[in-house]
């Protein structure tokens, strides 16, 4: 099974056109208040309309109200809701009910104990990250006995994503900062990252 690929932090039409050329499984729009890559639902709607229809749109939120998330999900429209805040399991369920979309929870893996909480969440999917856009990896050896499927994020780049896929076999990989040059998405880096993921898949029995 191929590793799913998510390009996050789409902000410009050029980002979308470059993603279309690479055909990742997902593109991410950040709505978390104060985030450097944040866009409005209106901007995301315009960009979403230019994306290849085979690419699913993920909305990234952090401690925003279920009502706001549901409104944004309908407006864009979004295919997946990704939560990066301190949302409770009750809130996860409410967002799923309001949107009718799969809900992913992101966990900042600062210690092995975080993985216990991640394994028990009722979210439809989980994302294991080193931080909120920190660009650094966490201790991957902590994942040795983690059996639930997950998206891996945090510090992934062209040089190490192949190793991550070969050694960890994540459900997918999520990348943003490694795709950028001077704070903007770089089409060549996007292409090279996608190629690195697919090359690792071709070399790995999954």
For residue 137, what pLDDT is reported?
84
Pairing of strands 103-108, 180-181: unpaired
For residue 33, what pLDDT is reported?
87
d(CA 118, CA 73): 24
For residue 125, what pLDDT is reported?
98
For residue 202, what pLDDT is reported?
92
For residue 205, what pLDDT is reported?
67
For residue 134, what pLDDT is reported?
55
The SS3 call for residue 16 is: helix
For residue 91, what pLDDT is reported?
97
Tokens 């996050």, located at residue: 8
pLDDT in tens, the chain (206 residues): 799 999 999 999 999 999 999 999 999 999 998 899 999 999 999 999 999 999 999 999 999 999 999 999 999 999 999 999 999 999 999 999 999 999 999 999 999 999 999 999 999 999 999 875 556 788 899 998 898 999 999 999 999 999 999 999 999 999 999 999 999 999 999 999 999 999 999 988 65
Taking the CA of residue 30 as centre, how many other CA atoms within 13 Å lie in the half-sphere pointing to its CB?
20
pTM greater than 0.85 (yes/no): yes
Helix (H) or strand (E) holding 167: helix 161-168
φ/ψ region of 145 (left if φ > 0, alpha if ψ in -120 to 50, else beta) reads alpha
The SS3 call for residue 55 is: coil
């Amino acid at each position: 099974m191929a590793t799913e690929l998510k390009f996050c932090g789409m902000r410009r039409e050029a980002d979308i056109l470059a993603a279309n050329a690479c055909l990742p499984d997902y593109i991410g729009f950040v709505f978390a208040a104060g985030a450097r890559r944040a866009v409005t639902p209106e901007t995301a709607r315009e960009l979403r309309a230019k994306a290849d229809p085979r690419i699913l749109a993920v909305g990234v939120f952090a401690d925003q109200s279920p009502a706001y998330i549901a409104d944004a999900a309908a407006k864009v429209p979004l295919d997946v809701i990704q939560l990066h805040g301190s949302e409770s399991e009750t809130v996860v369920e409410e967002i799923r009910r309001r949107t009718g979309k799969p809900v992913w929870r992101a966990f900042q893996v600062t210690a092995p104990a975080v993985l216990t909480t991640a394994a028990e969440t009722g979210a439809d999917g989980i994302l294991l990250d080193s931080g909120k856009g920190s660009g650094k990896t966490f201790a991957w050896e902590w994942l040795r006995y983690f059996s639930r499927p997950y998206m891996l994020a945090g510090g992934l780049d062209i040089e190490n994503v192949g190793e991550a896929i070969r050694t960890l076999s994540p459900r997918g990989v999520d990348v943003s900062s490694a795709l950028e040059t001077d704070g903007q998405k770089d089409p060549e880096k996007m292409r090279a990252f996608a190629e690195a993921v697919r090359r690792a898949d071709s070399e790995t029995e999954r």
